[in-house]
Structure 1
Amino acid sequence: MKYIVGMYVVMSLMVCVNLINGYLLNGEYWAITGWILIALFFFGTLFFINARSIFSKKKIER
């Protein structure tokens, strides 16, 4: 369950970074925010892979 919560947190951070760049920074730092979003996407992918492996192991045990 902690991996699903981690995926939700990463997804929320991605939205927050986009909103901060768009409204507070007026799109001035789009390259930096792009790199941050790519890093967050990779972290979210890792959470997804971990959650998928754990849920598939639980299904096999039943």
Structure 2
Amino acid sequence: MKYIIGLYVVMAMMVCVTLISGYLLNGEYWAIASWLITGLFFFGTLFYINARYILSKKKGES
């Protein structure tokens, strides 16, 4: 369950970065925001890979 919460937090952070970049900063720092979103995507991918590994390991034990 903690992996799903982690993925949700990463996804919410991606949306927040997009909204802050677009509305509060008027798109002036779009390149930095793009790099942040890319980093968050890779971080979320690590959550996904870890969850698949843990869940497949638990399924094999039972």
Q: Indicate the residue corresponding to 2:2 in structure 1.
A: 2
Q: State the shift of 1:47 in Å.
A: 0.4
Per-residue CA shift, 1:17-43, capped at 9, x if unaligned?
Answer: 001111111111000000100110110
- TM-score of the aligned structures, taking structure 1 as reference length: 0.93
CA–CA distance in 1 between the matches of 2:33 and 2:41? 12
CA RMSD, Structure 1 to Structure 2 (Å): 0.8
What is the alpha-carbon distance in structure 2 between the residues aligned to residue 9 and residue 32 of structure 1?
Answer: 20
List alignment gaps of at least 5 residues for structure 1.
none
TM-score, normalised via structure 2 length:
0.93
Q: After the TM superposition, which residues 1-62 of structure 1 pair with which residues of structure 2 at under 5 Å, given as runs?
A: 1-62=1-62
Moved over 6 A (4+): none
Where does structure 2 lack aligned partners over 5 or more consecutive residues? none
